[in-house]
Amino acid sequence: MVLGPTADRTGIHILRKRPNSEVPEMGTVRPMREGEPIDGEVIALKPRKDMPMVYSVRTEYDPKSNPEHSPSLRNPGPAQVSTNEYRRGWDAVFGDKRRGKPGSQPN
């Protein structure tokens, strides 16, 4: 059931009852945008003809059901980023342990 728009008007507040639960949930639905992370489930809404503010919900993707595809559930904390440029800079400052020389540059 649609309750109304969010304060920033980029989404809507909803009340949702899952088929396997007795307790309804409050939530927020926002459109997916290219280049932005997915925060939560991806759902499809189908309007009901007899009730204009009530929709049937189909879950397209649930990160809880597949934690391998959800870095935020798998590894809490910041992303581990390591590029070749980062490694060269690290080795230039702290040394290359593989070669045993402080400040040596890898080829």
Domain span at 62: 2-75
pTM score, two decimals?
0.57
Same domain for 47 and 36, yes or no, is: yes
Measured CA distances, 67 to 36, 37, 60 (Å): 19, 15, 15
Same domain for 83 and 104, yes or no, is: yes
3-state secondary structure of 47: strand
- Does the pLDDT value for residue 73 go beyond 70? no
User: Are the C-beta atoms of 14 and 41 separated by less than 8 Å?
Assistant: no
pLDDT digits (tens, 9 = 90+) for 34-67: 988 888 899 999 999 999 899 999 999 888 776 6
Same domain for 47 and 6, yes or no, is: yes
Same domain for 66 and 87, yes or no, is: no
In angstroms, the CA 75 to CA 21 distance is 29
Same domain for 34 and 64, yes or no, is: yes
Same domain for 61 and 102, yes or no, is: no
User: For the chain, what is the domain count?
Assistant: 2
Both structure tokens of 103: 């400040």
